[in-house]
A and B are shown apart, each in its own frame.
Chain A
Amino acid sequence: MSAKSCELRTVMVMNNSDPSRQDALSVRNLVVDYGDLRAVNDVSFDAKAGEVTVVIGPNGAGKTSTMEVCSGVRSASSGTVTALGLDPKKNRLELNSQIGVMLQDGGVYPGSRVLEITEHYCNLYGNRTTAKDLLTAVDLNGRQKSTWRKLSGGEKQRLSLALALAAKPKIAFLDEPTSGVDIFGRDLIRGIVRQLAEDGCAVILATHELDEAQRVADHVLMFEHGTLIANASLSELRDSHRGASQSLEDIFRSISGKSQQSRRL
Chain B
Amino acid sequence: MFGSQLRQELTVMARNGEQLLLLIGIPVLLLVFFSQTNVLPTDGLANIDFLMPGILSLAIMSTAMVSLGIATGFERSYGVLKRLGTTPLGTKRLVAAKVVATCCIEITQLLALVAVGLILGWNPSSINLPSLLLALVLGTSCFAGLGLIMAGRLRAEINLAAQNGLYLVLLLLGGILIPNSELPKSIAWLAEVLPSSLLSELLRNIFGNNELKISDLASLAIWAIGACLIAVFSFKWSD
Contacts and interface: CB of A to CB of B under 8 A. Distances in A.
Q: Do A and B come from one complex?
A: yes
Interface of A: 71-73, 92-93, 96-97, 99, 101, 103, 105-112, 116, 119-121, 123-126, 163, 167
B82 interface: yes
B86 to A, nearest CB: 4
Interface of B: 1, 3-5, 7-8, 11-12, 15-16, 74-75, 78-80, 82-90, 238
Contacts of A119: 4
Nearest to A71: B86
A124 B4 contact: yes
A74 to B, nearest CB: 9
A105 B11 CA distance: 22
A107 B88 contact: no
B90 A93 contact: yes
Given A73-B85, A107-B84, 9 more contacts: A93-B90, A96-B90, A109-B74, A112-B8, A120-B5, A120-B7, A123-B3, A124-B84, A124-B89
A124 B79 contact: no
Contact of A111 (B1, B15, B87, B88): B15
A107 B83 contact: yes
A106 B79 contact: yes
Contacts of A106: 79, 83
B86 A99 contact: yes
B108 to A, nearest CB: 20
Nearest to A123: B4
B8 A103 contact: no
A90 to B, nearest CB: 14
B80 A116 contact: no
Nearest to B8: A120
Contact of A101 (B7, B12, B83): B83
Nearest to B75: A109
Contacts of A111: 12, 15-16
